[in-house]
Structures are given as structure tokens and as C-alpha cells.
Structure 1
Amino acid sequence: MDDQQAQHLLEFLRPETRLDVKGQATQYILGLTGTPEGRRLLATRPDCVEALLALTHDPSLAVAKDAYHALINLATEPLAHGALTEGLPGLLSRLLDPGFPLADQVCAVLSNLSREEASCRELFAALQQREAGGGLVPVVDAFCTEGFNAKASLHYLGPLLSNLSQLPEARQFLLDRSRCVVQRLLPYTQYVGSAIRRGGVVGTLRNCCFDHGSHEWLLSEDVDVLPFLLLPLAGPEEIPEDEMERLPLDLQYLPPEKQREPDPDIRKMLLEAIMLLTATKPGRQLVREKGTYVVLRELHQQEADPGVLAACEKLIQVLISDEPEAGMENLLKVEIPADVEEQLQRLDQQEEEEEGKRPGSGSEGLHR
């Protein structure tokens, strides 16, 4: 499609265009966004993105829904983010409107848009402008309120929060000890209704664990994050009584029907979060004292996914190893020699390539 054809198509994407013609044009655009070439082509046309944003207000629900689905796909293209961020105020208003029927589609657009750091910062800034000093409050409230929108599940608020929590300023809000934010998210590590919501929360908690200054607080009774990270990794295996007593109460005497987290990506994120909590000496001591090794030992015997198995083995190694020498107790601050870092990067790349060869692996599909 050349510039002349694109301009001609835009004529049919105007709100005042006859409904049947407008509907066909929107479906055609949606089809284009279903291919990498089509997305890249449309991403270079801000006027197309603007036209789609305008059509999300269309009186026809079918036209508005197709426009949203096209935007969901386009939001995976960084080149389209400039035009998309122009529509953030309207998108956020509709996301947080309890009666808006297409809030799930808005949520998916914002989730994809927030994957890139620059657009994620734009989104966070737009939230701050909506509510000075506490821009994440309405998002967390909507996420934690069952039935917030009777017409939308809002499961993609989980990945949206996870993406936002990559920003230090967002983590600062989530870890603010004068609020009760991270504590509200903890029960969702066991949310059975949606792996998307569950994975989003686990990703958010993992990102929060990068803040090593908060580790002792996260592991203290004020938050007690460890049982919420360990419980999804625990299975129904019988554990000797002396080992059982070392476990947090929530992990003792689990029923025979207890199942582990079924999603390997989520299991891996849980292990990564615990691994981050062992970066400091007090964190390692607390994680060891809570019987974490027992849960990991049983997981290791049952685990079939190579990526999860590797993450489990790394964490076990940290827990059973001797303490680092003086001055190197904080593993997040240890400087790695350049040659070692290069070798580790090569190993990580090889691991990713191996995972990519597994059946069913690859990039996340387009949201439809």
C-alpha cells in the first residue's frame, strides 16, 4: 500500500463515513495489523493511528471493537507509540470507567504499549497527571476490586502493572510503606481465574524485588512476601515432620489435591523473585530459615521445563553455598569482571536459543 492508497483508505475511516463502508475499511485495517509487514507499514502512518483512535468512539460497537483490536496489534510496534501516546488521556479515562464495555480492549492496548520503556514512562506520566502524587491508585483499586467493571474482566491490568513496575518511580509507589499496595497484590499469586492476571502480579512482585533496600521489609511480618512466592511452587508431596515445622504456616500440611503453578513462565518468575530476595545477607538468612530449600527440592524432582529447572538449580546453589567473603555480601552490587559477564551473556543466549527450539515457544501472539 503506497501513500496514495493509504490516503484513499483514510477517507473511509472518518467517523461520518457511511457505516457499512466504514466497517469494511476498519476490517481491512485490522487484517493488515495481523501481519508484521502490515503493522510496520501502518506504524509509519500517524494519521492512520489517529483515525483508529477516533473510531474507538464510534457509535457502532462492531466498528469501535475492530478499531481497538487494530490498535492492540499496532501497540506492539514501537514506531506507532508516538501517535498512540497522544491518545493516552482518553484511553485511561475509558479503562477506569466501571461502565465502559470495551475496557478489556483498552487494557490490552495499554499493556502492549507499556512494554517499551519510553512509552511506559509516557503512560506513567499520564496517570500522574490524572491524580497528582498517586497515579497508580486507581489502577491498583480497579485490579483489586472484584467486578470493578461488570462488562470487562480487566485481567490485562496484571501485565500493565508488571510493565509499569519496571520504572523505579512506579516501584517507589508500590513499595511505599505508608500505603498498603504490595500487600493487596499478594493474594493474586494464587488467582485461579486467569493466568494473565496471576502472571502480571508475579511479574510485578519480581520487579519490586530488584529494590534490595526493601528486602527485609518485604520478608518481614509487615508484608511476608515469601509464602506467597513459595506456595504456588509447592506440590502435594509428603514432607518429613521435622522439615514441615520449618515451613511457613501456609505451606504446612498441604492437601493431596494441591497443585503447582501450571504455567512454566510464572514458575520461573517466582523463582527469580526469590533469587532476588537472596541478594543480601539478611535476605538469604530469612529465606533459608523459612524452609525454602525443602520446597525447591521437591519442585526440582518434579520439574520438566528446562528454563524453570535451571532457575531452580541456581537458587538452590545460592541457598546451600557458603556466605560470600566480606564486602561482597550484596550480590546485586557485586561487580562482575568483563570476561565473566561476556561468558554469562553467551550462556544466556544459548539458553534462549534452546528454548526457542522447543515446540510451542516463540513470541506472544497478537491479542484479538
Structure 2
Amino acid sequence: MPTQLEELVEFLHSPQPAVVSIALDNLVGYSQGSHQSVFAYNNYESVTDLKKLAQESGKVTVSQSVTILANLCTDTKVRDLIVEDADFLKFLVGSIIRLTNMSTDLMCILLTNLAKNDHITKVFDFDLEHTPEQAKVFKSTKAMDCLMDCFVKGFDRTLNRYASFDYLAYFFADISRFTRGREYFITEQSYDEVVPISKLLVFTEKYDSKIRREGVASTIKNSLFDASKHAELVNNAKINLLPYILLPIAGPEEIDEDDMFDLPEELQLLPSDKKREPLKGLICIHLESLLLLCTTREMREYLRGKATYALVREVHKVHMEDDNIVDLCDRLVQMLMRDEANEDEQKVEEVDMEEDDSDDDAIVEVL
């Protein structure tokens, strides 16, 4: 005999909308913690029900169904059942770019949680059909391009007054862990002739949104695992990557004049009230990005010429009590101050780094 909770789960596919509504109302609270296991009843039939309900027209039904699915993503079996359903995944992305959708931010959280699964790269294969109104906003029908446009253009709720699209930052961070994701962010796209990573850089100092800063910082870091692209990312004036890594870790400290004017122009003569990134974990991510740029001698020389050492030295002084920051600063100093006079010009330094697997690996739960 099923338990009372299992009976509630069974009610999710009732033909009576009122019964389904009561079931959803009661089950949202059980989608977190130890009670989650009830959704596995009858071979996870509830996941199929919830995916169908997420495609209904009622706002409450949709938001509750998506909330439950997002929370259940802590269960890898549930994640697989959702993300391997290409039709539902395409529906989810299509709904996020529907600019009147009142559940968009919840759907962004669900999409982010699904990005822990390798099958998420199917997003790159989706072509979407636009309404006349959407066609005015989105110049590409490719799903990933549309998600980028939502994130960049929709941060101030001018695209969709119900959505900030902030959680797409975590989605980008996760999908950039995959080769196909990294290639997307560092490759010029034909529809607008822009390299996607360049659209995200401005958000590294968006201090009113931890989510955006955190996700974008991790996306930058993950996009740097292909050393052959480093020169293009820092030398191409349309991308100009380095200042956006250095600015968040720069504070109001005075730097010697000899070093000051070697810094990228964006970091010269910073105001006395310049804010440094307040989250130590994010400072670490930016320092790790600099370490990745140190992979080749060409880039080490470039960083030296841009007075990166002087800035890292100041970060070290300010955060001497933080072991992680001190360790990363020390490693950077060793790379930047090394004597390379007798080394092979083409020698590549192995940098012991892995794709970010901390914050962008965490499942986002909806309370």
C-alpha cells in the first residue's frame, strides 16, 4: 500500500485539475531534503507528470512544477530523466526566451541545475521558432544565442519585467566546462560577428548581483583552458580580456608610477573609492584565470609588460590572512618573476588547474 505522501505523488497525474493543484501545493515542501525520495515512487513516474505540468498554462501550476523539478536535480537520476528528454529541454529553453513568461527565473534555475549533465550540450543543436515580437529582439534562432541575448539585454528587466535572467550566469559557467561550451564562448558568432565572452565581461564588476559576477568569473576561467586562444582573447581589441580580470581584484591602493602606466589603460589612475571584489572566493577565481594565462611564455611576457605583478602584490598585501589567496598570489609571482632567459621559446609551462567545480557545480534549490 502506498503511503500518504506516495498517494499525493500519484495525484499529480489526476484528470481533475483541482486534485493536481492540491497535490502540488503539498509536494513543493517535500522537494528538498530527505523527503525527496518520495518522488522516486513507481519508477519516478512523478518526473514525467511534473514535466507535463510545467508545460501547462496556469502560472501557479507551472511555477510549482518547475520549482519541484529544480529541487529534485540533487538526484542524478531525476536530472538524467529531465535533461535526456530533448523535447522538454527545448521547451524549457523556448519558454525562457518567451518574454511574457512569469516563471522565467525559475526556469533559468532548472536549466542551470540540468547543466551538471553532459547531455546539456544538446542546447547548441536547438533552433527555435520566433514570434514576430521575438524576432525584433533575437537576430538568431539558435537557442544558445538567444539565451546570451536574454542575459545581456535583460539584466535590467527591460526584456521581461518578470525576469532578471541572472541564473543564466551559472548555466554559462557550467556549460563552459564542456569543450563545446568553451568553443562557443571564444568563437565569433556569425549572426552578430561578436565573440560571446566579450558580452559577459562587463558583469565582472556588477556589485549588485553576486550571481552574475560569480557565474561570469567562472565562465571566463573555464574559457581559458584552451591556451592556443589566449593571444586572441587578450590582443583582440573587441575582446580585451585582461582588464576585466584585473579590475575586480584591483583596489584603491597607490601603485608606483613606473608600474602604474604599464597597467592596461582601464586600470591607470583608478579613483580612491575603487571597490575590490568583496568575495574572496571570486578573487581566487580571477587569480586562477591569471594563472591559466601564464600557461605559455608569450602570455607570461604579456602579463609582465602589463604590470600584472604589481597588482598581484597589492592583492597579497590586503589578503595576507587568507591562505587560498596567498597561495595563488605566490604561484603567480613565481610564474611572472621567473628567469626565462635560457628556456626554449616554445616551451609550454604546465599549469596545474582544473575546470571550476565549486560554486558552478552546486545545485540551486528554490525555497
Q: How far off is 1:40 after superposition?
A: 4.5
- Relative to structure 1, the CA distance from residue 43 to residue 111 in structure 2 (aligned partners, 3 Å threshold; closer, same or farther) is farther
Q: How does 1:103-122 map to 2 (within 5 A)?
A: 103-116=104-117, 118=118, 122=119
The residue type paired with residue 39 of structure 1 is: Q
Q: How many positions carry a matched residue from both structures?
A: 338
Q: Provide structure 1 residue ranges, at least 5 long, that are not aligned to the other structure.
A: 337-343, 346-351, 356-361
The equivalent of 2:366 in structure 1 is 367
For 2:151, which of 143, 146, 149 is the aligned residue?
A: 143
C-alpha separation in 1, matches of 2:349 and 2:266: 29
For 1:47, which of 45, 48, 56 is the aligned residue?
A: 45
Q: How far off is 1:133 after superposition?
A: 9.7
C-alpha separation in 2, matches of 1:186 and 1:95: 22
The equivalent of 2:324 in structure 1 is 307
Q: Work out whether 1:25 is the aligned partner of 2:41.
A: no
- Relative to structure 1, the CA distance from residue 263 to residue 40 in structure 2 (aligned partners, 3 Å threshold; closer, same or farther) is farther
Q: Work out whether 1:263 is the aligned partner of 2:246.
A: no
- Relative to structure 1, the CA distance from residue 43 to residue 284 in structure 2 (aligned partners, 3 Å threshold; closer, same or farther) is farther
| 1:163-188 C-alpha deviation (Å, 9 max, x unpaired) | 11111112222211463122212111
Q: How does 1:143-292 map to 2 (within 5 A)?
A: 143-146=151-154, 147-177=158-188, 179-180=193-194, 181-222=196-237, 223-292=239-308
Q: How far off is 1:16 after superposition?
A: 3.7
**Cα contact 1:185–1:201 (8 A) shared by 2:** yes
- Relative to structure 1, the CA distance from residue 209 to residue 70 in structure 2 (aligned partners, 3 Å threshold; closer, same or farther) is same
C-alpha separation in 2, matches of 1:210 and 1:43: 38
Question: How high is the TM-score relative to the length of structure 1?
Answer: 0.83
The equivalent of 2:71 in structure 1 is 73
C-alpha separation in 2, matches of 1:322 and 1:38: 59
**Cα contact 2:12–2:20 (8 A) shared by 1:** yes
Q: Work out whether 1:128 is the aligned partner of 2:125.
A: yes
**Cα contact 2:74–2:363 (8 A) shared by 1:** no
**Cα contact 1:124–1:135 (8 A) shared by 2:** no
**Cα contact 1:206–1:269 (8 A) shared by 2:** yes
C-alpha separation in 2, matches of 1:99 and 1:59: 12
What RMSD over aligned residues (CA atoms) do the two structures have, in Å?
A: 2.9
| 1:152-203 C-alpha deviation (Å, 9 max, x unpaired) | 0110110101111111112222211463122212111112331111111111
Q: How far off is 1:240 after superposition?
A: 1.9
C-alpha separation in 2, matches of 1:168 and 1:227: 25
Share of identical aligned residues, percent? 28
C-alpha separation in 2, matches of 1:312 and 1:43: 47
The residue type paired with residue 149 of structure 1 is: N
The residue type paired with residue 179 of structure 2 is: P
**Cα contact 1:277–1:284 (8 A) shared by 2:** yes
The equivalent of 2:136 in structure 1 is none
The residue type paired with residue 108 of structure 1 is: I
C-alpha separation in 1, matches of 2:299 and 2:92: 40
The residue type paired with residue 97 of structure 2 is: L
**Cα contact 1:43–1:77 (8 A) shared by 2:** no
C-alpha separation in 2, matches of 1:279 and 1:326: 14
